[in-house]
Amino acid sequence: MGFRWHDRPAVPNMERVVVVISGPRRRRTPPWFGPEARRALVAGLAVAVLALAAGWPYWRGHPAAAAVTLAVCAAIAAEGVLLATGGRTRRTGLAFVTAAAAWALNWFASWDAGAGPMVSPYAQAGFYLALGVGVLLYPTGRLEYLADRVWTAVACAVLTACPTAMWLTSEPEWAAFRGDSVWWPAPFPDLGLFRAVLRVSSGLYLLLALSFAVVLLLRLSRMGRLGRVLALPVTIALAFVGVSAALTQNPVMEASVSLDALLDVYAVQGAVAGVVPLTLLASGLRVRLGELSVAGRMLRLTAPVTVERVRDALRDVLHDPSLDLWFWAPAEGLYVDTGGRPADLAGDAAPGRWRRTVLTASGDPLAVVELGGALRDHGSLVEAALAAGGRALENARLQATVHANLEQVRSAYERLVRAEAVERERLARDLHDGAQQRLLALGAMLGTLEAVSADGAVREHARTCRGELMEALAELRALAREVRPALLVQGGLAPALEVVAERIGTRVRLEVAPGRYSSEIESTLYAVLCEAMSYAVERAGAARVTVRVRPEGARLVAEVSDDGGSPGDPAADLAGLSGRIRALRGQVSVDGDPARGTTVRMVLPCE
């Protein structure tokens, strides 16, 4: 999985290094003319020569057709050889070379002698079959889908059976050839049967062409987005060639057509087939161009660098909206997502996904990128994009690390707030259930003493003690209320706020949805709402305060609005409140001016 861009040779041991500096070897050929290109040229020339020889009688009268056909044959053969050098496209390349050779052989029909005329229909069939299968094998080198395999099998059967049936049932004259010079066994000549064979054959050819178009469309829908972008022109071109071949073949599928008419059709079909190498070439150029332009696009799309922008740039450039990115946070020793949250990347990627680790120039982990599996076929493009985005990725990683640290601080704060809420609850419970009940019991005992004692002084003393005790109880309750109001624990926010509203002395309108939340949310919200209410009354001098608390999906929204005019900056005055809300991953917005009053809006996530 290890992948390294900016591939720098490992620094050798610095002691005793012999550095051999050799001058660059002189190239006698330009860089694009390598061994592959030379092989392709040779193959193209060879097939062109073969086609020239095969169609010589016809070419003499039709130089333009000759030029086009020879060029198409040469182009398909050369393209086949180039494709055959790639690992996965090897089979496609071989199929194309076969197709080019078959098309050249097809032209032996023009000699109107020997075995050429009989072999020609097989060669023509072989040409289309090889071209079609070559495209179906592209780019994986396998017939991946059931439809591909079924079509290939049916095409093999039809394209073998039809030419065979033709010479089995006809005299050469019926098929546009001279009977005395051609080798044509004709074991069962029957004009009626031959006509039927021709009709059935032309129907089957058309059916093959149309079904091929359908198979191509089916393949297209299963490809990744990038694959689709590249395969679409070739698919359209090939479907066009197939259907036009079947249609142009139709007029010559008659008994007693002239040889010239037949060869004219061949010339047209060959010219149309020239579209295939041209579109393949265009697609190839487009891939290359994409790889070249990817650097510029990455640079443009990632400026200024943010974590999300780098991810979105990669998604855009690689046409993969499902692409995901995690950065290595060295301090924490784990991968984090674009939001800074730790991610568990142990184990393999989901099926159909492709996960690559990206290393820094010095070989340390930098990021993990997960792509759709279809992009495996465009490895060089992915590499180009990652290489181009290298600096941006490193910068973004810094950002992700900062996010991760922030996230840690925030979750620590959150834990603190939670712990505080729990601790407050425990303390409040101790005060309520422990100390308070004990003091109340003591009060009842003093009451008993007061009731049983006959001594007036004792009774008076007990009464005073009871009075003191009640004072102590009141103080204890005030303290407990500060810690956490009993009503909040018992009844939740609504009744607790009701009591606060009663005590606050201004008209407070409460619209608090009933419902219970976690104790840290309730106690935090209670505390900040109390703060906001007393701010409204004491600082802003509001005459009316409205408090709204309502759940909105997975969030709890609380609003305190007043009609007061704050002398200062409400947002600054309420900073403590904001901190507590943010600790629970909530948001606070303060809006208002002296004329309209102030609205504090708090949104808390709650499960």
Partner 1 sequence: MRVAVAEDSGIFRQALVTLLTTVGIEVAVSAASGEELLARVAGDPPDVAIVDLHMPPTHTNEGVVAARRLLERHENLGVLVLSAYNETPQAMELFRDQPRGVGYLLKDHVTDVDNLRSALERVMRGEVVIDPDVVSRLVEARHREHELARLSERERGVLALMAEGHSNAGIGRRLHLSARTVEDHVRSIFTKLGITSSATGGPQDSNKRVLAVLTWLRAAEPR
Which is nearest to 144 in space by CA: 347, 409, 376?
376
Closest distance between partner 1 and the C-beta of residue 438, in Å?
A: 6
Q: Are strands 334-336 and 324-329 parallel, antiparallel or unpaired?
A: antiparallel
Mask 507-546, x = binds partner 1 (CB under 8 A)?
xxxx------------------------------------
The alpha-carbon radius of gyration of the chain (Å, integer) is: 43
Closest CB to partner 1 among 305 and 473?
Answer: 473
The two three-digit tokens of residue 498, written as one number: 């009701």
- The residue within the footprint of partner 1, chosen from 498, 531, 563, 573 (CB under 8 A), is 498
CA-CA distance, 49 to 72, in Å (whole number)? 12
Which residues have CB under 8 Å from 95's CB, separation 6+?
80, 130, 131, 133, 134, 137
CA-CA distance, 542 to 566, in Å (whole number)? 9
Closest distance between partner 1 and the C-beta of residue 358, in Å?
A: 55
Q: What is the dihedral of CA 248, 251, 252, 253, to 10 degrees?
A: 110
Mask 26-65, x = binds partner 1 (CB under 8 A)?
----------------------------------------
Closest CB to partner 1 among 286 and 509?
Answer: 509
Q: Does 501 bind partner 1 (CB under 8 A)?
A: yes
Q: Does 314 bind partner 1 (CB under 8 A)?
A: no
Under rule CB under 8 A, how many of the chain's residues touch partner 1? 40
CA-CA distance, 299 to 286, in Å (whole number)? 20
CA 81 from centre of chain? 34
- The residue within the footprint of partner 1, chosen from 85, 211, 408, 436 (CB under 8 A), is 436
Q: Does 435 bind partner 1 (CB under 8 A)?
A: no
Give strand pairing partners of 114. Answer: 182
Closest distance between partner 1 and the C-beta of residue 420, in Å?
A: 22
Closest distance between partner 1 and the C-beta of residue 467, in Å?
A: 10
- The residue within the footprint of partner 1, chosen from 57, 342, 365, 495 (CB under 8 A), is 495
CA-CA distance, 130 to 134, in Å (whole number)? 6
Q: Does 438 bind partner 1 (CB under 8 A)?
A: yes
Which is nearest to 100 in space by CA: 121, 136, 66, 71?
71
Closest distance between partner 1 and the C-beta of residue 599, in Å?
A: 20
Region of 118-126, 368-376, 381-389, 470-478 interacting with partner 1 (CB under 8 A): 470-478
- The residue within the footprint of partner 1, chosen from 185, 456, 505, 568 (CB under 8 A), is 505
Region of 61-69, 217-225, 464-472, 526-534 interacting with partner 1 (CB under 8 A): 464-472
Closest distance between partner 1 and the C-beta of residue 433, in Å?
A: 7
Distance from first CA to last CA of the chain, Å, rounded? 38
Region of 22-30, 382-390, 398-406, 500-508 interacting with partner 1 (CB under 8 A): 500-508
Closest distance between partner 1 and the C-beta of residue 523, in Å?
A: 16
CA 74 from centre of chain? 40
Q: Does 322 bind partner 1 (CB under 8 A)?
A: no
Q: What is the dihedral of CA 556, 562, 567, 573, to 10 degrees?
A: -20
Closest distance between partner 1 and the C-beta of residue 446, in Å?
A: 7
Which amino acid is present at 110? S
What does each C-alpha distance from 165 to 362, 404, 458, 504, 521 come to in angstroms?
Answer: 69, 74, 133, 103, 85
Closest CB to partner 1 among 395 and 506?
Answer: 506
Q: What is the dihedral of CA 70, 73, 75, 77, to 10 degrees?
A: -140
Helix residue ranges per DSSP H, 223-326: 225-252, 259-273, 275-301, 307-317
Closest CB to partner 1 among 16 and 503?
Answer: 503
Which residue's entry shows tokens 């919200």?
A: 525
Closest CB to partner 1 among 343 and 472?
Answer: 472
Closest distance between partner 1 and the C-beta of residue 463, in Å?
A: 9
Instruction: Give the three-state DSSP class for 587.
Output: strand
Q: Does 486 bind partner 1 (CB under 8 A)?
A: yes
Region of 168-176, 366-374, 435-443, 565-573 interacting with partner 1 (CB under 8 A): 435-443
Secondary structure (DSSP) of 149-168: HHHHHHHHHHHHHHHHHHHH
Closest distance between partner 1 and the C-beta of residue 532, in Å?
A: 18
- The residue within the footprint of partner 1, chosen from 210, 236, 255, 473 (CB under 8 A), is 473
- The residue within the footprint of partner 1, chosen from 450, 531, 563, 573 (CB under 8 A), is 450
Q: Does 440 bind partner 1 (CB under 8 A)?
A: yes
Q: Does 428 bind partner 1 (CB under 8 A)?
A: no
Q: Does 446 bind partner 1 (CB under 8 A)?
A: yes
Which amino acid is present at 286? R
- The residue within the footprint of partner 1, chosen from 284, 342, 443, 565 (CB under 8 A), is 443
CA-CA distance, 25 to 30, in Å (whole number)? 13
Closest CB to partner 1 among 359 and 489?
Answer: 489
Burial of 490 (0-12, 13-18, 19+ CB in 10 A): exposed
Which residue's entry shows tokens 């089979």?
A: 91
Q: Could you say which DSSP state residue 538 is in?
A: I
| C-alpha angle 252-256-259 in degrees, rounded to nearest 5 | 65
Q: Does 455 bind partner 1 (CB under 8 A)?
A: no
What are the residues binding partner 1 (CB under 8 A)? 432-433, 436-438, 440-448, 450-452, 466, 469-470, 473, 477, 485-487, 489-491, 495, 498-499, 501-503, 505-510
